[in-house]
Structure 1
């Protein structure tokens, strides 16, 4: 019998509040809990990552750090892992995310900047003229893959990609 890791208890003892941002884990995970239950923290996925955005996070579990670059969805982390943490159906979306923009965005502060749009291969980010003189960013969540290319190029670190509540999402058992 395996005993799962209760992250809320672990975070309590580390002094983290429940409202703090949770780590973005690897793409195509069956669930966060499957990672905690089955990951041996061998770092094979970290070594296999072609863009080196996978880092050791809390408790030694791998997590994505988009400030270092973008995910190319090469699936090398999946191939390198010998444990039962990834979905069997890699044709599904790699993760269920939401991309948000903080108020520190230069465009929201009337300063011309479109570096995020230039880095977005899926063209999920566009800029529209509204009542202001500087075009304002719009993110099409349906087109956003969550690759993180926009995060590392943002001069204000104003773009955040966060995992949606996975308690209602099941990815291939």
Structure 2
């Protein structure tokens, strides 16, 4: 099923993070409750298009029992941000503060995008977390990203519809 979804996915995968979502209207909406019932988080992430109570409850429950870097963790977090769950930043911080400092070894693209999706108001907590990171190169990269978030204009989330990630990408290139 994942292969079918990938082949049917959007051409705009560069702007997405997490598993690519199915195109709106391309699939029957009854698939999503089935993926939740069958406990298939990767497929739930692919099919989630909006912040629905069942989706948010399922992904939140999975994240509560997840370990940092575990299977589908970043896809679930990215999906919560993508579908506009208002609690996504706090869910990310909870997981981060719970165990990530000693289990983070590098910052991959998906993590970078999730951090860049954080509201500017979370910068102090993100900075405090970054100061605990074990590896100097990771700490330096983390702090650079946090500085970019702090310098972002308050309207960065609305600029060109690209959000803070789009603004940061333009600043890094």
TM-score by length of 1: 0.30
Structure with the largest fraction of strand: 1
Structure with the largest fraction of helix: 2
Larger radius of gyration: 1
Which protein, 1 or 2, shows the higher relative CO under an 8 Å CA cutoff with sep ≥ 6?
Answer: 1
TM-score by length of 2: 0.30
